[in-house]
Structure 1
Amino acid sequence: MSEKQNVEASGLNRAKPYQLVLFPLNNGATNVYYVLVLSYIATFGSNVLALGLMFASIMVTAMRLCDAITDPIIGALIDRTNGKFGKFRPFMVIGNLVMAVSIILLYIVTPYIPADMMPLRYVVFVLLYFVWVIGYTFQTSCTRSGQTVLTNDPKQRPLFTIFNTVGSLVGMGVMQFVAPILRANVADYSSADFYRVLTPIGVVISIVLTLLAVIGIWEKDQSKYFGVGGEKQKKVKVSEYIEIIKNNKPMQRLMIAGAGCKLALSIATNTTVLCMLYGCMMGNYDSLYLPMMILGYAASVPFFLLTVRTSQKKGQKASLVRYVSVALVCYVGVLALLLLWNPSNGMNLIFPSVNVYTILFIICFGVGYGAYYATADMPIPMVADCSDYETYRSGKYIPGIMGTLFSLVDKLVSSLAATVVGIAVGVIGLSNLPTADTPYAPGMNWVVIVLFCLIPMIAWAVTLIAMKGYSLTGDRMKEIQEVNAKRKEAIAEGMSLEEAMEKYK
């Protein structure tokens, strides 16, 4: 029997190589805005629009709290959508267009509002940011929920992690490389000119990545791939979601683990934190930022390969736990080095020349960053496992609500990062968020130690605790996929969902 026949006989839905490569670019498209908005929105509001520092920082979190209402609604809309253009493609396209229009108006138009009309600046800032959040929810939820139709092969699904990370790098990495170049050649982060140039670049990149992602999922965005019921799939009532969330224990634990991974990434890569570390403390932002970022990305490459290999052999849970543990151990070294920091006795980063301190920092930071960056997005493909488990448990196919639940956690945590940074900076008496050219102020080293090391380490510890009771191991997912495949085949032959659920357990 050929490989194709084996796949058909087992009921596996496998993706073509180009689909595995292109669809994860949807994550890259949204991560363009992750950098463009979440890394700079507080600085833009505080330094360009002259809004209060605490207002600009806390507003990021406040807006995400609004998603506690909008996320489940959008998730339900996705689950109930099955039109001519599929379930996911409409939300990907509409979401991207909404983000593009809102962020252009926010970053390019609002600075033209006169300073003596400050109340109008506050109102427009809040409204445009809220509209952007809606578009972000539309598109990010599709990255998580769309995996369920792309592939359910336990050997193939872990590959989504590496392509998802590559897609993220294409979007996030390009923006992170372009931003400091613009800062050095166009204007500083606190200037409106910086945002007038960066915004169109980000919008164009995001639109191109979205179109490629739509091509990637086009063939799979059909009802025959929607759960075990296919075209006969029953629509889930909104009132049923609470029961689903309550009983899907793996999803609960994954949300906690995902929050831990996201919080670590969001705070440790926050632009203000890196400005304080490489600029204010080490005194050489322009020579340190790009090299250290390149070091981290380069170090993550072998970990990407290791995570996929481990996931295929032992399951995604085992891979996540192993490499988050590596990051946690390495950051103990980073913490020790930052505690020893003292430029007067040579305990300082020096680049391109090196000293013992620099070598140790490169080793600890490089390995630690590589490990946690490779695992930062790993919970995303695990959402598909939780969705398949829900189909196995209840017979319901609800990738939309699963995706938006996880998206909600993603956004709450990433926005919390901006608030935490703003509060920490305010504690040491600064009225504006530091930039690369801000002189060192007493207490900055402790802010960096807490934000760059301690909070991520605590977040990783929480991730490890949550994963301890996560039941969807590699072997367990193989069993679940086999049962779902048998139920789907039985329903296609005329058996009711209830009968198939009863017969195949």
Structure 2
Amino acid sequence: MSEQTPKTTGLNRAKPYQLVLFPLNNGATNVYYVLILSYVATFGSTVLLLGTVFASVMVTAMRVFDAITDPIIGALMDRTNGKFGKFRPFMVIGNLIMAVSVLILYIATPMIPETMMPLRYVMFVLLYGVWVIGYTFQTSVTRAGQTVLTNDPKQRPLFTIFNTVGSLVGMGVMQFSAPIIASGFQAEGGYGAAEFYAVFAPVGIVISIALTILAIIGIWEKDQPKYFGLGGSTSTEKVKMSEYIAIIKANNPMQRLMVAGAGCKLALSIATNTTVLCMLYGCMMGNYDTLYLPMMVLGYVFSVPFFLLTVRTSQKKGQKASLVRYVSIALLMYVGVLVLLLLWNPENPNFMFSIYSMTDGKFNLTINLYTVLFIVFFGIGYGAYYATADMPIPMVADCSDYETYRSGKYIPGIMGTLFSLVDKLVSSLSATVVGIAVSAIGLSKLPTQYTEYASGMNWVVIILFCIIPMVAWAATLIAMKGYTLTGDKMKEIQAINSCRRDAVANGMKLEEAMEKWQTIDQLPEQYRV
């Protein structure tokens, strides 16, 4: 996997440490994904007392705002090519904005007295909005920056596994540490305690800064014009806002990837929502403390072999084939999870999910057939869909390279943010859907791990934990049916782009190179190998 410059072979390969470190940018932003999108609605309703529906709807409203800012920042990124490169400035600025806004939101706003409730509303919305801008700055780089990291069809699928590992490092550490930190504030209300957020936020910020620094090291050598598209004027392509719609219309693979990516993200964001898991493991099964962490560990253990399988499938048959295969497995397994939740009966221990219990300080194993089946169906299903949840991200690089092949434009910022625009608009529904579903059964606050079971919660969990993700996966499979960027097609596109780039570097005009080489059979022999 040693690096070879475009001048040597026309192929841009990444060094091993670059493949490992740059995807940690996704881990850095996923720290904030957990900090904000998983907990801000609970923080708003239980700590700031803003009201369940308002706090939940604001999560959706800010995700919409996040989506709207995406193309603007993407266009700005495409026009950037300064002393510190195209991508690194957005990583640094974005992380700093998020760190400051989160600290003020979680630590300072609870100090506003209840007598000044309108100010709480204003500060909540303002700080949330500022955070969104920072989040867009840094997340845009994950999708756009991978285009300069490598275009080797054998290397690019590796980005999926390292991106997932990066996501695990960021999101996983936060998800594991949250219940541990919350247990220290059980008397104050766990996730509903202001003290929890005052500790949780700084922990997350430190982790995110460390991951950002490592990601910057990973992209440092690649963040320079010779790796930007076909070279020449395309390195700082200026595309008018009015051209976005035309780009989407002409780039059919991007259209389909938007649907697939949105489906995967919606499934992940709802099925792993903290409120949903509190209702499932705490309110329904009655033992959140002994179920949540073991099931998180189980999910990650099951996901490891799927990470390896997705990469192997992607390298052999392309990323489309890999995404379709493992999303199908997830969909099939969740049929089993759905059946088990429909059979749930709190009055019959044989139809309750339980691993162990503690009585008088003694450990008691309580596994039954229902639990074994739940572990099998959930474990395989979670492993399959978690391994594919971030797969559309490296596929954006394929769509970006296809756009360069199709039009000669190198616009990774726009391509990445157009994808995330739809992705965020759809996934933004998660918090609102959860909030409305909870309100529909008469609860005034989002349930925490200590909330008593209320009538109708089982149906809320069945719909949110199973049915909606299954519908989202079905939409992904339908969208991928007509996706044309197969493994063989991407090899052809990369060969043509490489030939054109070398020609432009040697003095040929871009328009001439675009006209001269349009199919694989027109290329010199060395590019067809």
TM-score of the pair, normalised by structure 2: 0.93
Tell me by how many angstroms 1:245 deviates: 1.6
Give 1:445's aligned residue.
458
Displacement after TM superposition at 1:65 (Å): 1.8
Provide the secondary structure at the position in 1 that maps to 2:347: helix
Give the letter aligned to residue 229 of structure 1: G
> Using the alignment, how far apart are the partners of 2:404 and 2:224 within structure 1?
17
Q: Which residue of 1 aligns with 2:82?
A: 83
Cα shift at 1:409: 2.9
The farther-off stretch of 417-426 and 7-16 is: 7-16
User: What are structure 2's unaligned runs of at least 5 residues?
Assistant: 357-364, 519-529
CA apart distance, 1:236: 2.3
Q: Aligned-pair distance for 1:203?
A: 0.3
- Equivalent residue runs for 1:423-502 within 5 Å: 423-502=436-515
CA distance in 2, matches of 1:280, 1:493: 67
How many pairs are equivalent?
Answer: 504
Q: Which residue of 1 aligns with 2:523?
A: none
1: distance between equivalents of 2:136 and 2:433? 22
Instruction: Report what 1:225 is aligned to.
Output: 227
Deviation at 1:185, TM superposition (A): 1.5
Question: Contact 2:79/2:236 (CA < 8 Å) preserved in 1?
Answer: no
Question: Aligned equivalents of 2:5 and 2:51: distance in 1?
Answer: 62
Residues 89 and 218 of structure 1 are in contact (CA less than 8 Å); yes or no, is this contact kept in structure 2? yes
Deviations 1:60-93, CA, capped at 9 Å, x for gaps? 1112222343211100000000000000000000
Structure 2: distance between partners of 1:359 and 1:48 = 38
Residues of 1 paired with 2:268 and 2:297: CA distance? 16
8 Å contact from structure 1 (residues 234, 396) kept in 2? no
Give the Cα separation in 2 of the matches to 1:440 and 1:3: 57
Whether contact under 8 Å (1:46, 1:56) holds in the other structure is yes
Deviations 1:202-233 (A, max 9, x none): 00000000000000000000000000125664
Counterpart residue identity of residue 120, structure 1:
L
Contact 2:33 2:171 in 1 (8 A): yes
* Map of 1:408 onto structure 2: 421
Partner of 2:277: 274
Q: Is the 8 A contact 1:72 1:401 kept in 2?
A: yes
- Tell me, yes or no, if the aligned pair for 1:236 and 1:396 is still in contact at 8 Å: no
Matches within 5 A, 1:87-102: 87-102=86-101
Q: Which residue of 2 aligns with 1:348?
A: 352
Within a 5 Å distance, the mapping from 1:366-385 to structure 2 comes to: 366-385=379-398
Is this contact kept in 2: 1:38–1:414, CA < 8 A? no
Which aligned pairs between 1:129-208 and structure 2 lie closer than 5 A?
129-187=128-186, 188-208=190-210
Q: Name the CA distance, whole Å, in 1 between partners of 2:307 and 2:437.
A: 33
**1:150 Cα deviation after fit:** 0.2
Paired residues of 1:137 and 1:407 also in contact (CA < 8 A): no
Pair 1:240-2:243 in alignment: yes
Quick one: distance in 2 between partners of 1:290 and 1:458?
27
From 283, 306, 310, the equivalent of 2:309 is 306
Q: CA 1:360–1:4 in 2, change beyond 3 Å: closer, same or farther?
A: closer
Q: Identify if the C-alpha distance between structure 1 residues 131 and 4 changes in structure 2 by more than 3 Å, giving closer, same or farther.
A: closer
Displacement of 1:7 in angstroms is 8.1
Q: CA shift at 1:350, angstroms?
A: 1.4
Secondary structure of the residue aligned to 2:247 is: helix
User: Does structure 2 retain, via aligned residues, the 8 Å contact 1:10–1:482?
Assistant: no
Report what 2:373 is aligned to: 360
Amino acid at match of 2:178: A
8 Å Cα contact 1:223-1:231 kept in structure 2: no
Per-residue deviation at 1:4?
A: 7.2
The change in CA–CA distance for 1:77 and 1:284 in structure 2 (over 3 A counts) is same
Conserved? CA contact 1:108–1:196, under 8 Å: yes
Alignment check: 8 A CA contact 2:327 2:477 kept: yes
Q: Please tell me the root mean square deviation across aligned C-alpha atoms, in Å.
A: 1.4
Change (3 A) 1:234 1:4: closer
Aligned sequence identity (%): 78
Structure 1 residues 416-451: Cα deviation after superposition (integer angstroms, max 9, x where no partner):
111100000000000000000101000000000000
Listed one character per residue, the Cα deviations across residues 174-199 of structure 1 (whole Å, up to 9, x for unaligned) are 00010000111234101100000000
Is 1:47 aligned to residue 51 of structure 2? no
Task: Specify the code of the residue in structure 2 equivalent to 1:480.
Answer: I
Residue 3 of structure 1: CA displacement? 8.4
Matched residues in 2 for 1:478 and 1:176: separation? 38
Contact 2:2 2:15 (8 Å CA) reproduced: no
Change (3 A) 1:438 1:185: same
Q: 5 Å matches for 1:258-269?
A: 258-269=261-272
1:141-160 alpha-carbon deviations (Å, 9 max, x no partner): 00000000000000000000
Distance 1:49 1:410 in 2: 29
Distance 1:269 1:5 in 2: 41
- Which deviates the most, 485-494 or 241-250? 241-250
Alpha-carbon contact 1:245-1:252 (below 8 Å) kept:
yes
2:288 to 266, 285, 289: 285
C-alpha spacing 1:377/1:5, structure 2 compared with 1 (3 Å) = closer
Over 3 Å counting, the alpha-carbon distance change for 1:360 and 1:71 in structure 2 is: same
SS in 2 for 1:439: coil
Letter in 1 for 2:386: Y
1:490 aligned counterpart, secondary structure: helix
Per the normalisation by structure 1, the TM-score is 0.98
On the 8 A contact 2:80/2:236 being kept in 1, the answer is no
Summarize deviations over 1:393-424 as a string: whole Å, max 9, x none: 00000000111122223332332111100000
Q: Give the whole-Å Cα distance in 1 for the aligned partners of 2:6 and 2:316.
A: 19
Question: Which amino acid is 1:162 matched to?
Answer: I
| Distance in 2 (alpha carbons) for counterparts of 1:232 and 1:31 | 31
Residues 97 and 130, structure 2, Cα contact 8 Å, conserved in 1: yes
* Contiguous gaps of at least 5 residues in structure 1: none
Secondary structure, aligned partner of 1:189: helix
Supply the distance in 2 between the matched residues of 1:224 and 1:217 (Cα, whole angstroms). 14
Distance 1:280 1:409 in 2: 33
On the 8 A contact 1:28/1:172 being kept in 2, the answer is: yes
**Distance in 2, Cα, partners of 1:447 & 1:441:** 11
Q: Which amino acid aligns with 1:154?
A: P
Letter in 2 for 1:362: I
- In 1, the alpha carbon distance for the partners of 2:335 and 2:105 equals 40
Greater shift after overlay, 285-294 or 223-232?
223-232
Matched residue SS, 1:362: helix
Q: Please name the residue that 2:527 is paired with.
A: none
